[in-house]
Structure 1
Amino acid sequence: MSKNKAITLLSAGHACVDVYQGSVAALVPFFAAERAYGYAAVSGIVLAASLLSSVAQPLFGALTDRWAMPWLLPSATLLGGLGIALGGLVGSYPLTLAFVAVSGIGVAAYHPEAARVARIAGGGSHTAMGWFSLGGNIGFAAAPVLVTAVMALGGLRMSPLLVVPALAGSVLCLPVLRALARTSRTGGSPAEATGVDDWRSFVKLSAAVVFRSIVFVGLSTFVSLYAQQRAGGGTATGSAALFLLYLGGAAGTLLGSRLAGRRDRVIVVHRSYLATVVAVAGVVFVPGPAFFPFVLLAAVGLYIPFSLQITLAQDYLPTRVGTASGVTLGLTVSIGGLASPVIGTVADHSSLRTALVPLIALPLLGWLVSRSLTEPGAPKGSDERNAPEGMNLTGERIR
């Protein structure tokens, strides 16, 4: 299988999986409308999707460092879809939390192995990783559109229809799995990785990812409700704001890959954080229709470093690529969810705008910690500088 075809299939499968990350936030206004959940209650739903995922994803990453588990791609995709489909169907709040948590585990199981395969299939190129990440952005962006369309058919009782992307994603994985099986040698095992792990830089990068995560997940959880306050309108206005947030994420991912082809990834990362401070301030304080462009700009700024942080993490820990992917992607999707109940509680006791104000400072903190990072020691100016050469799709050395 060619590199481009493999990355295309992985990107499409990633889109199908990340529909379920985006669906949690997209379902928030419908849970609030149909079940009269307050800010803290809907934050708890986001927390349920994030809590187990934040622990499980690094664990799955550590497992993929020891054993290749490509079967996780289709099975984890199905698990993520079933959790969301059943979470909207049950009326009990505890059961809703449980099913959403199951979906979070499925998402957690998928990402480290998928990122490992994408790195190998793309030859370590950050452009290839950017296309893989773009699939996730498209899934996020499609989530509010898909959820709104399904809810229009009959509300939360129609949520079983949301399993369709999972079915599609599991099928899209199969050609990649067949390619893995064809190239695998009898008794073969993943190649022994080489290099020196830079834990200090990895920890700093992870701190920047945490700050970014809180901002993005905080916005994705509450921007649909906040849009209705700032611009007026009902759930359609909220869905439009969420769609712009995710669309901006897709644009930022592509832009980040292009910028990293001209400059060091580290420079692109810390400058994007600095620019994001102004954009998030606009989201919080600008009323009326002008609110929407700032939502788009904030998402672009938050997602420019997204795929670059994945490849940087993998390069900082070259002997633990699965762990690096699991921690980076796990923090990206999880830590923000852990902070969301705090934002919701503050909003319940004051106002949503007051609760969102601290988000303005977090990109600045991301800028501060990323300023001291350096590009991993490799030839600069080449898109293939991070390639794990001499490996096939199973991670084995080619002799």
Structure 2
Amino acid sequence: MKTTTTNLVADVAAAKAERTVYPVLVMISVSHLVNDTIQSLIPASYPILRTSLNLSFSALGLITLVFQLAASILQPFVGAYTDRRPKPYFLVMGMAFSFAGLLLLAFAQTYPLVLLAVVLVGMGSAVFHPEASKVAYLASGGRRGFAQSVFQLGGNAGSSAGPLLAALIIAPFHQERIAWFAVLAIIGMMVLTRVAAWYKAHLIFRAQQTKSIQDNVAPFPRKKVIIAIGILLILIFSKYFYMASMTSYFTFYLIDKFNISVSSAQIHLFLFLFAVAAGTLIGGPLGDKIGRKYVIWISILGVAPFSLALPYAGLAVTSILSVFIGIILASAFSAILVYAQELMPGKVGLIAGLFFGLAFGMGGLGSALLGQLADRTSIGYVYQVCSYLPLLGLLAVFLPDTKKVKKTKA
């Protein structure tokens, strides 16, 4: 116990000395992987649930909507609350909600119980993300973009791994096999208990120090900050609507346009998802070096030439374009999140909750609306419409440059 306490103090001292606390970043990234793996099991289990409970596609859509609402709406409120009253062990509590939701989903024999199960998983995610993002911020040692990228990498890996694990473990068997993944939640709670202890020690350390007034002073006038936050929310809309078109319908687009097999289309989707994972690690560190405004500009508007060309390209070029789109577009979120946190110092949890919540909401809403558009027109038309979304990145020109402000203060 003494060694553990000593390590905690050393890690906290490292963070205060502006040194990146890598063990904490790794643990919070692994926890994000567990959280998002659990989330991704919900849609991956739809074929089994549809058969076992005789559900319609509308009923499955409602499950998605209920989960997304639970995960997105609560997050800003959790973030705002923990900004005022930090709760390190909320991290463990969030994973406990997901644990309970998984077990209930595994043994639910009625549709209302399934809805309750996904609400619990959604609540777990809503509690986890704001505090976990705050831990990444505190452990960054000033490399905030890098820290958020590492944190996001875990989430992207979990989202990609979930369907594969479900295909291997759940699909060949029965609904009850979902309970096996509760082991992941237990591991997540164990890891987060250690993270929460570090977080608590960090808060105690901070309370004993003289607090710098400048740390919580906004770098720009209130009106300018509000406008900038509004622009960032529009850019999140652009990113996640386009991402929804790729993650939900890219395989259908490839099959419809090029008449390829399902397995071949899934390989192309995997390449896109792999590119997304790679892009996640680029945006944050690059923003630390050249300024987050420029990364935001590049990562949203920079997708436009590729997205505009994609609906008219052949199969090989489409695959190449999708890789560039994945890398460039994925670099946006870490830069946007940290930029917003720098615009509103002292509101790290609120900003994390707001932007993660909006990302969840836009992903779910985008999937639903684009599905309706595809039914009424064609899947090819969906990609023609979505190809213009990255042009909203032009709004980034109105964002203030926080890097210049920091240099002026220095």
TM-score (norm 1): 0.82
> Kindly tell me: are residues 14 and 83 of structure 1, through their superposed partners in 2, closer, same or farther at Cα, counting changes over 3 Å?
same
In structure 1, C-alpha distance between the alignment counterparts of 2:187 and 2:317, rounded to whole Å = 37
| Residue 260 of structure 2 corresponds to residue 232 of structure 1 | yes
One-letter amino acid of the counterpart of residue 178, structure 1: A
How has the CA–CA distance of structure 1 residues 90 and 44 changed in structure 2, closer, same or farther, with 3 Å as cutoff?
same
Counterparts in 2 of 1:271 and 1:97: CA distance versus 1, 3 Å: same
Report the equivalent of 2:229. 202
Offset of residue 13 of structure 1: 1.0
Say if 1:102 and 1:53 are closer, same or farther in 2 by CA, change over 3 A: same
CA distance in 2, matches of 1:242, 1:290: 14
Decide which of 288, 291, 305 is 1:264's aligned counterpart.
291
1:132 maps to 151
Which one-letter code corresponds to 1:326 in the other structure? G
Q: Name which of 396, 399, 408 aligns with 1:370.
A: 396
The CA deviation string for residues 64-87 of structure 1, in whole angstroms up to 9 with x for no partner, is: 111111112122123235435644
Q: CA offsets per residue over residues 103-131 of structure 1, 9 Å max, x none?
A: 22211111111111111111342212221
Work out whether residues 253 and 379 of structure 2, in 8 Å CA contact, stay in contact via their aligned partners in 1.
yes
Residue of structure 2 equivalent to 1:63:
81
Rounded Cα–Cα distance in structure 1 between residues aligned with 2:32 and 2:332: 18
Indicate whether 1:9 and 2:27 are aligned.
yes
Shift of 1:359: 2.1
The answer to whether structure 1 residue 312 and structure 2 residue 334 are counterparts is no
Structure having the higher helix fraction is 2
Give the whole-Å Cα distance in 1 for the aligned partners of 2:48 and 2:335: 34
Ranked by relative contact order (alpha carbons within 8 Å, sequence separation 6 or more), the top structure is: 1
Q: For 1:232, give the aligned amino acid.
A: I
Q: Matched residues in 2 for 1:76 and 1:38: separation?
A: 30
Q: 1:29 to 1:304 in 2, by over 3 A?
A: farther
Contact 1:10 1:132 in 2 (8 A): yes
Find the counterpart in structure 1 of residue 304 from structure 2.
Answer: 277
Verify the 8 A CA contact 2:74 2:123 in the aligned structure 1: yes
User: Which stretch of the first structure deviates more once superposed, 208-217 or 104-113?
Assistant: 208-217
Q: Report how many aligned residue pairs link the two structures.
A: 382
Corresponding position of 1:166: 185
Question: Residues of 2 paired with 1:73 and 1:279: CA distance?
Answer: 39
Q: Any conservation in 2 of the 1:57–1:326 contact (CA below 8 Å)?
A: yes
The answer to whether the Cα contact below 8 Å between 1:142 and 1:243 also exists between their aligned partners in 2 is no
1:343 aligns to what SS in structure 2?
helix
Give the secondary structure class of the aligned counterpart of 1:185: helix
- Amino acid across the alignment from 2:401: E
Inter-CA distance 282–160: structure 2 relative to 1 (3 Å threshold): farther
Q: Percent identity?
A: 25
Correspondence 1:1-399 to 2 at 5 A: 1=8, 2=11, 3-27=21-45, 42-84=60-102, 86-87=104-105, 90=108, 92-125=110-143, 126-154=145-173, 156-185=175-204, 188=207, 194-196=216-218, 198-229=225-256, 230=258, 232-234=260-262, 236-237=263-264, 239-281=266-308, 284=311, 286=313, 288=315, 291-365=318-392, 367-376=393-402
When the two chains are superposed, the root-mean-square deviation of aligned CA atoms in Å is 3.4
* Structure-2-length-normalised TM-score: 0.80
Cα distance, 1:363–1:44 mapped onto 2, change above 3 Å: farther
3-state SS of 2:273 partner: helix
Moved more, 317-326 or 293-302: 293-302
